[in-house]
Each structure stands twice: as structure tokens, then as C-alpha cells.
Structure 1
């Protein structure tokens, strides 16, 4: 077996792309999208009709046409993806709402309603939210309503702890972006898969969850190389770009050992992480603070590019 086939025996593989052809080629369990991926997808010829249909629907629906069209496009691409994957698709709440709990909840409810109108059961959709305090608070409400959430832009233990305590379905702790920060801040460029700061972070979160019995799924994300992926083999899920999926598929070697599945059980904390302590711990982690803010800014920028594209297509 090639390494991708071996990996699929140990972790559920998720395609980190909105490219239908890539999903068809690598046959992942799930797929995840974000504004950056949707912006790229919307520029491809095969999505031209989706763009037209989204705009036509939004113009008939009333309200903010471009905002409505961007939501409809995200759902349309999500529906197409769900024809190819047996599992779930993740669709993101507008990153401009990352610090507005109420607005994030309303946006998520609209996305789920659109999916249901398209004949997709809510169990097949994960709503993506940034792992701000407000995003996690929104997820806690949505999970109580049976709307499952994927908390993204997660870089620290305090974010992971808050998500588990909020009953979040899945988290996407980032690997490569953590490595990027450490390379830039230390000047070191010789990290191995074993001492890669992103791998170390996700391993710590995974072991924390499993040792305390939290059901929240850990999905490693944002990989820079296949060594990081192999080091996290055995993680609940791994979301991987088409380029790295291809590298794994082309490699006939033996997959590295990956995560240790023999984890000692420990009691869960007696008290939950409160907002002041969450904010203090996040602020104390320069990497997590900077990468969270940067990630939100980048998603907002790509959302605005998508909206400009839709505006030109009207």
C-alpha cells in the first residue's frame, strides 16, 4: 500500500480543498472549505454556473445580494462535495463575525437552513468558526441546537480546552502555521517531524483530550510537509491539501509510527476555563495570539475578494 492508503487505516482523511476533481481523485472521508478555498474555486470554469445561480437566487431572495450570494455559493459547493464524500463538509461563518457571538449564531443557522432546503441533513455539515472566545461561545449554543461545529484557527491549549468544555464536535488545530511562526521568530530552519512545534502542539492537545475522555474530534490541519502528517498518523482526522495527498499517494514506503494510542486516563478538571483566564492564557502565548489574528485577517481578505468577484459577475 502507498502511504495515503496506510494513513487512511489509522486516521480519517479529509480533503482541504473546494476542488471537486481533487476530491474525486483522492476519495477522502470528509472535505473542508474556507473563504480562501471558495475564492479559488469560484474562479474555475466548472463553477461558473454555481456563481450565476447563487447571484440569481440572491437577487430573488432580497436583502444584501452579495452577502446572500456568497453564502449560497458556499452551500452549493458544499452540496456538490457531499455527492463525492461519505462523511461531512465544513462551511465557514464569515470571519468578520469572529468577535460577535450572536451574529455568528444567526449566520450558522442560515447556512444550515440553506443546506436543509437543498435536501442535505444537518448531520452532514460542520459549521466552521474561529476559535475566539466569542466563536467558542457561539458553538456552545449551536451544539445545543444540534448544529455541529468545527472550531478553526486553533493554535493553543487554552483554545482547545475551551472548545472541549463547550461540547464542540470537532477542532482543527493548525500545524504548519505554528511552524511558520517559530521559523520566523527563531531563525531556525531545521525542525524535524519530531520537534516540529506544530506537531508538538497537536500531540499535546490530542493526548489531553484522550486522557480526559473528551469526545471532541481532533483534526490536524494546515500541513507544510508529509513528515508532519506522518508524525500525527492516528489522530482522529487529518485535513490535507491535494498536493500533499498526491505526495502520500506516490510514496510506497512505510508510514511512520505516528501518535501513541496508549494514553493513561486522567480526571477532567473540576472547574471550567472562564473568559478572563482564557483571554489571559491566549494573550500570554504570542504565537497563538498573532496567528489567530492573522488567520482572521486573511480569511476576511479572501471573503472580500470573493464578494468582489461576485459583484463583477452580476
Structure 2
């Protein structure tokens, strides 16, 4: 399973990329705005740091606007994937961009029907938002299971990119289902790294080592 980081924070991107953990990045206008500064410079730097796919999202809602923006965003790097919403114009743009050889990530997916339509339109990635479904009492992971089964039935090449991940158990569940990608906020990836027994074990190892050194010097 590929791990993408869902952020525009350059410090977090560099840190986790240096650990060898990142297969790609997903961003959106909200994440870029949260970091402040020049969003164009941020996008240039992200596509330079990351070797894998970087999703950059359009803000236009009409077909012509999405196409213009998609072509402009693609200039930030060969690894750019254009992110469009699951709307009629978004699917039309997805089809057109895909035919031009520009990969597309269809986002804001909340149903198996929407995922099927995105795959039919040629999307490289489909992004179901599981956390937002959980928030309203629906089964986010159940959606991933349904999409996985449908895509397998028809051999769709579109990759399932699990988005709106709220905690490490979402990652475990997505991996067990066989999702292609999870995209994580930096704090969730940080939590995956930690376990209290690891901290206790390391503390004990170091304490034992200090005892050994002292006994050898006595």
C-alpha cells in the first residue's frame, strides 16, 4: 500500500520523505492556504522534493476552467496529478485530461456509484472521504470495501486512494481491505510511528547499557 501525505507543509514533507515513507502527496486549496506564503512556490517545491505523484487541485467548477487550470498546474512538474471534484464537469475534464496523457485524481467521492463513474471517465485515482462519512454516522470503510469489490469485478485500473483519514486504525483497515493508497495528515503518520511499549523498551535497553558500562568500569 502506498502512503501519501495530505499536506502542503514543507517541513513535514521533507521529514517523512527523508525517512523513505512517502510515495506521493495530496494537496488542496485549503491546505495551501493554511500554510500561508506563496502557494505557487509551495507547489513548485513539493513537486521538486517528491518523486511520486503530487495531486494539485483545481478551484474552477466549470469544464473550461478546470481544463485551463489543469494545464497550468501540470506545468509544476511531470509528477503532477490534477485533482477534480466528482461533478459532471469534473468527469468531463477527467476524460479530456486523461486522453491528453495528464493523470487525474477524482475527489470528494462518497458513494460506490461515484467511484464507478470516476473509473469509467479514466481517473488514475479515486478519493473516497471515509472520515467525513464516519462523522455523519455512515460506514466509511464499508465504502472502501464496496469500491474494492466493484473495481476487482471489472478490472478497473483506477487506484483507490483512501482520504479523510482520522486515525491509525483507518490505515490498518484500509490495508486489510487492499486499498491502493492512503493519504494521511502528518499527525496521523506520526502516530503510526509511535507505541508506548517501544518507548519503554528503548528506555530499558539504554538503562541496561548504562549499568553494563558502569559495572565494567568498577
TM-score tier after normalising by the smaller chain length: 0.7 to 0.9
TM-score normalised by length of structure 1: 0.58
Instruction: Tell me, yes or no, if the aligned pair for 2:73 and 2:80 is still in contact at 8 Å.
Output: no
Q: CA deviation at 1:79?
A: 2.2
Alpha-carbon deviation of 1:82?
Answer: 2.4
Q: 1:23 to 1:152 in 2, by over 3 A?
A: same
Distance in 1 separating the partners of 2:185 and 2:195: 16
Deviation for aligned residue 1:39: 0.5
1:86 paired with 2:51, answer: yes
Tell me which residue corresponds to 2:73: 111
Deviations 1:118-138 (CA, angstroms, capped at 9, x unpaired): xx32xx010011111221111
Partner of 2:4: 14
Q: Root-mean-square deviation (CA), in Å?
A: 1.6
Following superposition, which runs of at least 4 residues in structure 1 exceed 4 angstroms of deviation?
Answer: none
Structure 1 unmatched ranges of 5 or more: 1-10, 52-72, 183-195, 254-314
- Provide the residue aligned with 1:180 in structure 2: 135
Aligned counterparts of 1:29 and 1:144: Cα–Cα separation in 2: 24
CA distance in 2 between partners of 1:34 and 1:164 (Å) = 21
**Alignment partners' CA distance in 2, 1:159 and 1:127:** 18
The structure with more radius of gyration: 2
1:145 maps to 100
Deviation at 1:101, TM superposition (A): 1.6
- Which residue number corresponds to residue 205 of structure 2? none
1:37 to 22, 27, 31: 31
Secondary structure of 2:49's match? coil
Q: Figure out how many residues of one structure are paired with residues of the other and give that number.
A: 191
How far did 1:223 drift?
A: 1.2
Unaligned ranges ≥5, structure 2: 198-218
Q: Would the aligned equivalents of 1:174 and 1:202 in 2 still touch at CA under 8 Å?
A: no
2:195 and 2:51 mapped to 1: Cα distance? 25
Per-residue CA deviation, residues 13-56 of structure 1 (Å, 9 max, x unaligned), is 000000111112222110111011001111xxxx4xxx3xxxxx
**Residue of structure 1 aligned with 2:189, choices 230, 245, 252:** 245
- Rounded Cα–Cα distance in structure 2 between residues aligned with 1:220 and 1:251: 23
User: Aligned partners of 1:24 and 1:109: how far apart in 2?
Assistant: 27
Equivalent residue for 2:161?
A: 219
Q: What residue in structure 2 maps to residue 165 of structure 1?
A: 120
TM-score, with length taken from structure 2:
0.82
Structure with greater strand share of residues = 2
Which has the bigger relative contact order, CA under 8 A and spacing at least 6?
1
CA distance in 1, matches of 2:196, 2:123: 36
